[in-house]
Structure 1
Amino acid sequence: MRRIKKLLLVFSIILLAMPSLLVSAASESKSEEDTTQKKGEVSSKDEVVYGKLNAAGERKELYVVNTLDVEKAGEVVDHGTYTDLKNLTDLSPLEQKDGEVTVDAPEGKFYYQGNMEGQSLPWDVSITYLLDGEEIAPENLAGKDGHVEVKIATSANEKVDPVFFENYLLQISLSFNLDNYRNIEAPDGTLANAGKNKQVSFTVMPEKEEELVVEADVSDFELDGIDISAVPSSMPIESPDIDEMTGEMDTLTDAITEVNGGVADLEDGIAQLNDGAGELRDGSKEYKDGISALDASSAELVNGSGSLKQALEEMSASLSNSSADMGLGDLKQLEDGLSQMADGINQSADGLVTLKDNYAKAYNTLDEKMAAIPDYKISEEEFKELYGSGADPEVLDKLKETYTAARTAKGTYSAVKEGFEAVGGTLGQVSGTLSGMADNLEEMANQLGSSRENMDGADSFAQLQDGISEIASQYASFHSGLVEYTDGVNQLSSSYGELHNGISGLAEGLGETENGIGSLHDGTAELQDATSDLPDEMKKEVNEMMDEYDKSDFEPVSFVSSKNEKVNSVQFVLKTESIKQEEQEETEEPKEEAKGFWARLMDLFK
């Protein structure tokens, strides 16, 4: 029996030693093969970078799964510095030295994992949480109720090669259990149903830094990890068809050109109108000054005429009661007074004729300038289209204001045109009346002179008495007409003062309008220059914008080491920690471990 036990013991020892002997033999065989190892060839390489972030977005763990496309089996070298290596293809050992990973790889796809420590990601990710408007640490958020906001900020990490930030787009997604969440909102995100969950997705374009926000009402807060992936934005982007839009821009450009031409014509018309208005104002001032002077002298003229009338009446009465011995000197004075008055009235009449001629010239000029103002109408709808065209609103305001002023001036002129036309006729009538008065006075003076020269005795004296009596009677009628005339002159002077003020105001307004039209024309000319090549500029801007996002010519580079060549693709797969309520662990009674084969075998010898 003892002998059997010894045999069994020796047999067991042999069995335990056999694996070590086999491994040693295999190692010796492997060493012999290493001396003749052939070099392999790799046609391309893919890298997938996996990262684990905490709930606030800070990096915790990072490893890379490298895929080598081995075109020829043998020893291959990949570059990278790792803290730990793991062969995911077979049991071949991986060797790392001086930033080089060496492996004897078979033909085909070869996968291995390398853990990295201290390596930064191309993006800085910061995640903050707010509960009912107050920031809260993620570890304190589990199980809470209220209105929650999750803010995800992404920015470039200046410590890492910017090629990834400049050419990669980020895709960020969060999943919300609808049993706990309601009223989910994400202004910059896309919402989609995924079973009993609501999926919120965001996209961050290359070279962009964003702050993304999602908010909701929650009860018993829990949140699965946030998924963040980064892939090259290598899709070619075709420029949109903007022919229809540029066609509309061509129409707008043509319309602006027409507006500029119309404003130029309006500027010329307003300039001519302003010149005519200035001439009219000057002529009107001369007329106003003349009629005012005439009105001022009317009282003197009436008083003098009244004195002359009284003198004639006294003379007539004296002659009726006097003899032929009356002095002829008094008659001579009366004759001279009548002649002087006639001369004065003739001068006034001539002055009115000159004023009438000047007024007619100024009025004809004004009428021509007013007629030159275009009679077209711009509707409110057309103004709205101009405002919606993108033109400078200040320039358009000036255009509308000037257009309105020009239309108002033309309308005002049409309303007072009849009054302007009547002024010329009134001047002619007054001048004719004055000339008639002067003629009557001259005739009376001549008759008085003839009577004085031909006086001969009692008969001549009687004739003189009759002539003076007739002159006194006629002059009384003349004096009445003179009083009516001066009253009319007074009314005309008062009324014309208001008319002259209106003409002066019109001239000043047209002067300001001309200045405004000049500024407007400068603005429309500038607008025309700025928009003349608007369609081409639009195409250029669109093409530049498309080029900014078109990364189709991007050549991938290795994230692990710049020495790696033939890189086919590099992707990033990141995930944050979930925020969950801690589950209470159930305590279990320790169970007796089942005995293995060797333990049961040894029990046989006990």
Structure 2
Amino acid sequence: MKTKRILLGSMAAMLVLPSFLVTAASDESNAEENNIGQQDGSLSYKDEVIYAALQATGEQDEMYVVNNFEVTEAGEIVDYGSYDSLKNLTNLDEIEQADNKIIFTAPEGKYYYQGNMDDVPLPWNIDVSYWLDDKAITPDELAGKDGHVEIKIETSANEQVDDVFFNNYLLQISLTLDPTVFTNMEAKDGMVANAGKNKQITFTVMPEKNGNLSLEADVVDFELQGIDIKAVPSSMSIDSPDMEDMTGDMASLTDAIAKINDGVSDLNGGVTDLNDGVWSLRNGSSEFNDGISDINGSSSELIEASAAIKNALKEMSTSLENSDEMELSGLEKLVGGLSEMATGLNETATGLDSLRDNYIAAYQGLDQAMAAIPSYEITDKEIESLPTSGADQEEVVDQLVETYKAAQTAKGTYTQAKEAFDAVGPSLSNTSTGFAELEKNLTTMVDELTSSIAGMDVSESLGQLQEGLSQLSTNYEEFHVGLGSYTDGVGQLAHSYSQLHDGIVDVSVGTSELEDGVGELAEGTTELEESTSNLPDEMQEEIDQMIADFENSDFEPVSFVSPSNNDKINNVQFIIKTESIEKEEQEETEEQPKQEKGFWERLMDLFK
């Protein structure tokens, strides 16, 4: 694991000599021991700690700087800055100020002095507002109140100050809350910690970012300690995380996505084949439906022709039965009529044979297409689990389920009607055979009549003819009844198959939509695979960039007081505090003379 070493910005002040002074973050520095200005003493480095007191609403009251020097050789030191007043915090020696130069004599070791800067703004605009029960209220009015309080803290860059501090410093804003006063505390983006008996809410505002912070709580007898705001360089030590396991997981994810894409591609190919097959089935079914409709449409003509034959046979048989004598010319006409009837029966039988062959061919194609639809059963539970497969619910899964159900419905309907389909072929064969048998008998009859008409006994022959015609008429009556049953069956079959064909059409529409949906799914998984194929490397690059953004390792501290000090600056930090909000104490009966606070008391007040 690679560790990037970065300067660690000091987040809290250490107090030395008087307990409020801040020491340097490190006594070890490799900086060159150059002098500041014309001096005979030598420095290792200089730190600046800027203290600022704000009003409860964020307006700036006063500011001073504690300058901390690490003196390596005693002597006269020259520093730079524009101060309203100076105070030696190390000894009683005088400190001279000439324009922008501060001159003092420092012993070897630590040396401190304070410079007050009344009209110098901070690098940040800080605004604190208070709300009681959703109504804005001033801090003075809020003291001692009960209700629901919201404290809003907003920070932004002060354009009057060099933006180097806004761009490179983070703000740590802390509020210390007495749990006897504050309850039901809510602080979005704030970190809550225990601080003795109190609760401490800490917010962090990153460099180059404006702060928009909020704390809400229910309060009783409102009071609030001053808000602490610390600003330090954002440079810190960050260990580059071990990404091996994560990138390994990402690699597994990309491999899985690639496999999904392969599977979806196979699915897309299968659905395309299914759609092609269903459309072939639809085309074949359409031809079969047209054929069976034609057969059904011809049934009435077939029945009419058969009825005519039946009536003619019956009439001929009756005529012969009632006739005592028939002329030879009439017999010859009878032979001619029978011959024409035999020819008609032969053509009908041939047409039925052709219809049977076409029907059988179409039926075999339909049967094969129907048999190709899988008969496996998908349970409702398996269908309900499809949305978790990763496929698109509306455009793919629903279409797949609808197509499956439609295909199974079509297959079920076909299975129910299959017995009727199977009976059509034999019925056509039997009908054709019957017509052929009739044609054969009539032809035989005609041949016998023709060969024997010249020398036969007319009366005897007519008797035999009448007997034959009577038997033929009786048999044909039975055949005609069977033919009517057959045509009725064909009509029912045509109606049932029309519904089956409608189902096949619906299946073909569903498979077309399914093919479109799976095609879009395949495009999506292909795009997903392409966009995630380099995911592990991209993730590592993003993490490296994030670390680079936060570590700020190339930041060189600069002086807040004067750019002339930059060559010796080691650390600059800000300690800012708002005034506390307290209830007014009742005045004592006798006014006690107020003593003006000295510097030490005022400075210590900032830490109360």
TM range (shorter): 0.7 to 0.9
Of 277-286 and 175-184, the range deviating more from structure 2? 175-184
What TM-score do you get using the length of structure 2 for normalisation? 0.83
Aligned residue among 395, 398, 403 for 1:401: 398
- Name the amino acid aligned to 1:58: E
- 1:417 Cα offset (Å): 6.0
Greater alpha carbon shift after TM alignment, 490-499 vs 467-476 = 467-476
8 Å Cα contact 1:39/1:74 also seen in 2: yes
1:563 aligned counterpart, secondary structure = helix
Tell me which residue corresponds to 1:76.
77
| Structure 2 residue aligned with 1:364 | 368
Change (3 A) 1:348 1:249: farther
1:343 alignment partner in structure 2: 347
2:461 maps to a residue whose letter is S
Q: Which amino acid aligns with 2:571?
A: S
Question: Could you say what secondary structure the match of 1:353 adopts?
Answer: helix
Asked if 1:160 corresponds to 2:161, the answer is yes
Please report how far the alpha carbon of residue 414 of structure 1 lies from its aligned counterpart in structure 2 after TM superposition. Answer: 5.5
Q: Which amino acid aligns with 1:64?
A: V
Task: After superposition, give the CA deviation of every residue in 1:350-400 in whole Å (9 maximum; x if it has no partner).
Answer: 1331232134235435644x459999999589767655xxxxx8x465343
Partner in structure 2 of residue 328 of structure 1: 332
Asked whether 1:354 is paired with 2:362, we answer no
Within a 5 Å distance, the mapping from 1:38-187 to structure 2 comes to 39-187=40-188
1:576 maps to 2:567 = no
**Counterpart of 2:556 in 1: which secondary structure?**
coil
Letter in 2 for 1:356: I
Q: 1:113 to 1:45 in 2, by over 3 A?
A: same
Call closer, same or farther: CA 1:384–1:233 in 2, change over 3 Å.
farther
User: 1:193 aligns to what?
Assistant: 194
Q: How far 1:98 moved relative to its partner?
A: 4.1
Is this contact kept in 2: 1:448–1:468, CA < 8 A? no
Structure 1 residues 513, 126: CA separation in 2 closer, same or farther (over 3 Å shift)? same
What is the rounded CA distance, in whole Å, between the counterparts of 1:236 and 1:445 in structure 2? 115
Establish whether residue 482 from structure 1 lines up as the match of residue 483 from structure 2.
yes
Cα deviation, residue 130, structure 1:
0.6
Identity across aligned pairs (percent)?
Answer: 45
Q: Does the aligned pair in 2 maintain the 1:78–1:100 contact within 8 Å?
A: yes
CA distance in structure 2 between the partners assigned to 1:354 and 1:341 by the alignment: 20
Residues 1:103 and 1:118: Cα distance change in structure 2 (over 3 Å):
same
Letter aligned with residue 248 of structure 2:
G
Alpha-carbon distance change, 480 to 589 in structure 1, aligned in 2, over 3 angstroms = closer
Whether the aligned pair in 1 keeps the contact of 2:406 and 2:503 (CA below 8 Å) is: no
Partner of 2:240: 239
Correspondence for 1:460: 461
- C-alpha contact 1:229 1:572 (8 A) present in aligned 2: yes
- Alignment CA distance shift 1:399-1:67 (3 Å): same
Distance change >3 Å, CA 62–CA 582, structure 1 → 2: same
SS in 2 for 1:184: strand
| Preserved contact between residue 149 and residue 213 of structure 1 (Cα < 8 Å) | yes
Q: Distance in 1 between matches of 2:345 and 2:159?
A: 107
Q: Distance in 2 between matches of 1:62 and 1:356?
A: 106
Q: Which residue does the alignment assign to 2:425?
A: 428
SS at match of 2:583: coil
Alignment of 1:246-395 (within 5 A): 246-322=247-323, 323-325=325-327, 326-365=330-369, 367-368=371-372, 370=373, 395=392
Contact 1:280 1:359 in 2 (8 A): no
2:457 partner amino acid: G
The answer to whether 1:437 aligns with 2:434 is yes
Contact 1:283–1:359 (CA<8 Å) still a contact in 2?
no
1: distance between equivalents of 2:470 and 2:440? 15
8 Å contact from structure 1 (residues 72, 106) kept in 2: yes
Is structure 2 residue 415 aligned with structure 1 residue 418? yes
Change (3 A) 1:526 1:87: same
Structure 2 match to 1:212: 213
Please tell me whether the aligned partners of residues 345 and 436 of structure 2 are also in contact (alpha carbons under 8 angstroms).
no
Which structure has the larger Rg over C-alpha atoms? 1
Instruction: In structure 2, give the amino acid aligned to 1:348.
Output: L
Residue identity in the other structure for 1:351 = L
**Code of the aligned partner of 1:261:** D
Instruction: Report how far residue 405 of structure 1 moved.
Output: 4.1
Contact 1:353 / 1:427 at 8 angstroms: preserved in 2?
no
- Native 8 Å contact 2:342 2:440 kept in 1: no
Cα distance in 1 for residues equivalent to 2:387 and 2:573: 52
Aligned with 1:85: secondary structure?
A: strand
Judging by fraction of residues, say which structure has more helix: 1
Query: Aligned equivalents of 1:522 and 1:377: distance in 2?
Result: 29
Deviates more, 1:253-262 or 1:303-312: 253-262
Compared with structure 1, are the counterparts of its residues 379 and 229 closer, same or farther at alpha carbon in structure 2 (3 Å cutoff)? farther
Can you list the C-alpha shifts for 1:278-319, whole angstroms capped at 9, x where unaligned?
A: 122122112211211221221221122112111111101111
SS of 2:185 mapped into structure 1: strand
Structure 1 residues 397-419: Cα deviation after superposition (integer angstroms, max 9, x where no partner): 53433443454356446545635
5+ residue gaps, structure 2: 1-37, 594-608
Which position in structure 1 is the counterpart of 2:598? none
Task: Name which of structure 1's ranges 549-558 and 481-490 shifts more when overlaid on structure 2.
Answer: 549-558
